[in-house]
Amino acid sequence: MSQVEKDVQQWLEDVVIGLNLCPFAAKPNRNKQIKIQVCEDASEDVLLETIYQELQTLDQTPVEELETTLVVAPNLFKEFDDYNQFLDLVEGLVIQMNKSGIYQIASFHPDYCFYGAEPEDAENLTNRSPYPIFHLIREESMEKVLKHYPDPDGIPERNVECVENLTDAQKRKLFPYLIK
């Protein structure tokens, strides 16, 4: 396992699952159904091709074997705005593949900043990761778990409250890649 994969796995376990930011991640992580695909290339074209291939792999692999994929781009998108613009291409790829309604993309970046938020706002921590990540999610799987989850609409609000209540020491421990 590469250092990038280890960093992402650590973030997944400590932040996403540990803080319960995604209440649906623990089970597929436990069952080894989350793939971390690192694209080391510094080419956006290669990354887009990697995402295309990973969507194809999800199509061809039973959900019992592979629930979801995190495509990690450690050598691209140092700037969040560049990442955000590329995200439009990824969304376009999903549409072009006729996979709207089948897959959705969740986005994570070390400098993630929600629209209307200030960069230092705690709410941004919910989508901050050690590297730029494109999370390829099966919508059908999401729909299944959301049916059995109380108040799924309240998840973002609970997540913001959770990260706002972290102490500085907790933030340093959970987000060491943000401490410059």
Task: List, for residues 24-43, the tens digit of each pLDDT value.
Answer: 899 999 999 999 999 999 99
Nearest-angstrom CA–CA distance, 138 and 102: 6
Cα 101 to chain centroid distance, Å, stands at: 18
Q: Residue 168 phi/psi, 5° resolution?
A: -60, -40
Q: Is the pLDDT of residue 180 over 70?
A: no
Tell me which H or E stretch contains 134.
Answer: strand 133-138
Going by C-alpha positions, the residue among 62, 50, 130, 60 that lies closest to residue 90 is 50
pTM: 0.95
pLDDT, tens only, 104-143: 999 999 999 999 999 999 999 999 999 999 999 999 988 8
pLDDT, tens only, 39-78: 999 999 999 999 999 999 999 999 999 999 999 999 999 9
The residue count for the chain: 180
Nearest-angstrom CA–CA distance, 131 and 134: 10
